[in-house]
Amino acid sequence: MKLFPICSSSGGNSVYIGSRSGGIAIDTGCSFKSFRQGLSLIGTDVSAVKAVLVTHSHSDHTKGLLTLTKTTNIPIFATEPTLDYLVRNSLVTSTAPLYTIDDLSSVEFDADIHSFPTPHDCDGSCGYHFDFSDMSLGYCTDLGNVTDEVRRELTGCRTVFIESNYEPEMLRNNPHYPPYLKQRIASDHGHLSNPACAEFCRELVKSGTVSITLGHLSRENNTPETAFNSVKKVLALSGMICGRDFTLNVAPVMNSDGAYISF
């Protein structure tokens, strides 16, 4: 089992979990074309996707769903509020195979999967927890703060994909963002900042997490290097050394032209 980020930024999010022969996608927030291209880069294709798990209804997580449901029969799983939104807004075809998260046990995958609520500004937003035979994996983005339930679900996971969306100073000084948008992002139902993510990552490593991937970085208010160094520094102050006690990666950030930003 591996975790392969396909796209991850404020402009689009999708992750593939599994092997090249079969796995699960979380969100299809990029175009279906980009989704297929991302799968090809890891040596697989759409036929390997057994299910798509949707975290919530915002477009940077659902952009590719309509084309996906037009061209495949891949089952879509989400909370009831999210499914209702997808149907009402024609973000999936009328014949799309839609299932609530209560039916996740029907997915043919080498893990027990369940969802948990995340504090974001839309109904039904959730993260996912995977229990494999020898390890557990937690996936959580789009959360304005780390709630007790999020902490409970991710604590003890060997591998964690966690949001590190924005650097507070960059957000404050962004001349292109109106005050209401800055307030929304920084609210308890917005997004997780680099410092908040770093503090939570310190808790996670103490609880046994050995692999962390930072994702959902803002293209306007963050950089991969800034997010990486923020987490690395906080953990180092607690005596946790990157490469010895844990591995730290940043999911590739796709810019507005579809090119990946690296550091």
Q: How far apart are CA 141 and CA 145, in angstroms?
A: 10
Q: How confident is the model at residue 11 (pLDDT cuts 50, 70, 90)?
A: confident
Q: Which domains does the chain have, with CATH numbers?
A: 2-261 (3.60.15.10)
**Statement: residue 262 has pLDDT above 70:** no
> CA of 239: how far to CAs of 146, 155, 235, 236, 251, in Å?
23, 19, 7, 5, 25
- 114, β-bridge pairs: 129
End-to-end CA distance of the chain: 26
Question: CB of 136 within 8 A of CB of 126?
Answer: no
What pLDDT, in 10s, does the model give residues 193-241? 999 999 999 999 999 999 999 999 999 999 999 999 999 999 999 999 9
Burial of 88 (0-12, 13-18, 19+ CB in 10 A): exposed
Residue (of 169, 186, 176) closest to 223 by Cα position: 169
Strand 2-9 versus strand 76-78 pairing type: unpaired
Q: How confident is the model at residue 9 (pLDDT cuts 50, 70, 90)?
A: confident
> CA of 109: how far to CAs of 5, 15, 245, in Å?
18, 16, 29
**Statement: residue 256 has pLDDT above 80:** no
Predicted TM-score of the model (pTM): 0.95
Both structure tokens of 155: 């604590």
What pLDDT, in 10s, does the model give residues 60-75? 999 999 999 999 999 9
Beta strands in 90-231, from DSSP E residues, in sequence order? 98-100, 112-117, 126-131, 136-140, 159-163, 211-215
